[in-house]
Amino acid sequence: MSYPRTHAEALDESDPLAHFRERFFIPDGVIYLDGNSLGALPQQTKTRIEQVVQEEWGSQLIQSWNTAGWIDLPTRIGAKIAKLIGANADEVVVTDSTSINLFKVLASALKQNAARRVIVTEKENFPTDLYIAQGLIDLLGHDYELRWVSRGEIESTIDERTAVVMLTHVNYRNGRVLDMDAITKRAHEKGALTIWDLSHSVGAMSVDLNRANADFAVGCGYKYLNGGPGAPAFVFVAKRHHEDFSQPLTGWLGHAQPFAFDWQYTPAEGIARAMCGTPPVLSLSALECGVDLFLEADINALREKSLRLTDLFIALVQPICKKHQLELITPTEQAQRGSQVSLTHARGYPIIRALIARGVIGDFRAPNILRFGFAPLYLRFVDVWDAAYALGEILESGDWRRDVFDQKEKVT
């Protein structure tokens, strides 16, 4: 190993965020490097969910919409997430899933830029983002075009025909960060609108939507934000677009007065018009606990720790990569990296399964990516060391070649 384990122990001792680990349930014997896919369970969430179920739903029943403030959960949590992404409190709401929110903002952006027909995106964007754009184009008519280009071609592809630039800030495959400020600037110079998917950035690094002058953004609640499996997502609409924001999923919760039970749809003022139907109260209550932890932590300290964690992992696995035909596809340059490290190997799947069997949980992304996420709120430097050590051992011993590790599960 390129560093002794005592090096990692020393980094833990001087880690100003170390105490946050106690605020989570982390099973014994598990090194969890998948917080970028499903965040860990905060201690508070369990208590809070029991309370919501028993005291609010169980005792107060329907009155809880008012007495427990259920109806305000989407905007209340939205205002908290706003602090993590450089937005104003009234520009973010929590509702539906990332996919659905993307559909809403993309539809509105195309309508707002109605003379143009091209959506520019990155080839390696998360598939649901591409699928949603394809579905919307199918609905709108085929003169719309989705242009997916490689990362290096994004800026030069944006031109006077571009209606919307739709991108994910941190790539889910290789962990590479796109330059939000520069791309947004370029898009605006050409008269295009921007949509940023923050699913792999929020809670792992500082994001400043308003500094970048971003138009729209969406992001996931169950990854670094630790909101729980299938947690609702958030949507950001810059204030300057609120009046023109017009999304097609015009459900009653996005109405100006849902309880007037009017026959005619009139959109709510502001960000509330991004909502559609009834908020999932249990899921929102869980998400709020996850988000609250981030408000206690300094986001710059989080980013710094995240970079140190990934730096250490990269340093430790590089010699292993060389010896065992793995390739590092995450940038070694800090500014270009999110909070994950990805390696490729022709037999990536059984290697990941063998690691999981040893309690080191990462994931596999087709066709050949071994992906390791580093959630700075609850990971220790010794976890990084132990994970790299386990990877080296598995490859050295050939343990991963056992047949059991080759059987594909439904979810990888």
Ligand X SMILES: *Cc1c(COP(=O)(O)O)cnc(C)c1O
The residues that touch ligand X, with contacts defined as CB under 6 A, are: 97-99, 126, 128-129, 168, 172, 197, 199-200, 220, 233
CB of 98 vs ligand X, minimal distance in Å = 3
**Measured CA distances, 297 to 109, 191, 294, 305 (Å):** 34, 37, 5, 12
Whichever of 98 and 108 has its CB closer to ligand X, that residue is 98
CB of 407 vs ligand X, minimal distance in Å = 25
The answer to whether residue 222 is catalytic is: yes
Any idea what DSSP says for residue 165? E
From the candidates 20, 32, 103, 126, which is the catalytic residue?
126
The answer to whether residue 126 is catalytic is: yes
What is the distance of C-alpha 364 from the center of its chain? 17
Q: For residue 235, which amino acid is it?
A: V
The answer to whether residue 371 is catalytic is: yes
Whichever of 68 and 198 has its CB closer to ligand X, that residue is 198
Do the Cβ atoms of 254 and 242 come closer than 8 Å? Answer: no
Whichever of 231 and 354 has its CB closer to ligand X, that residue is 231
Do the Cβ atoms of 345 and 338 come closer than 8 Å? Answer: no
CB of 231 vs ligand X, minimal distance in Å = 8
From the candidates 144, 222, 236, 364, which is the catalytic residue?
222
Whichever of 125 and 184 has its CB closer to ligand X, that residue is 125
Whichever of 199 and 310 has its CB closer to ligand X, that residue is 199
CB of 140 vs ligand X, minimal distance in Å = 20
From the candidates 80, 223, 303, 380, which is the catalytic residue?
223
CB of 233 vs ligand X, minimal distance in Å = 6
**Lateral strand order in the sheet of 369-373:** 327-328, 340-344, 369-373, 363-365
From the candidates 15, 197, 215, 363, which is the catalytic residue?
197
Q: For residue 157, which amino acid is it?
A: T
The answer to whether residue 96 is catalytic is: no
Q: For residue 216, which amino acid is it?
A: F
Nearest Cα to Cα of residue 215 among 190, 187, 173 = 187
The answer to whether residue 389 is catalytic is: no
One-character DSSP codes across 64-102: HHHHT-GGGHHHHHHHHHHHHTT--GGGEEE-S-HHHHH
Annotated catalytic sites, by residue? Answer: 126, 197, 222-223, 371
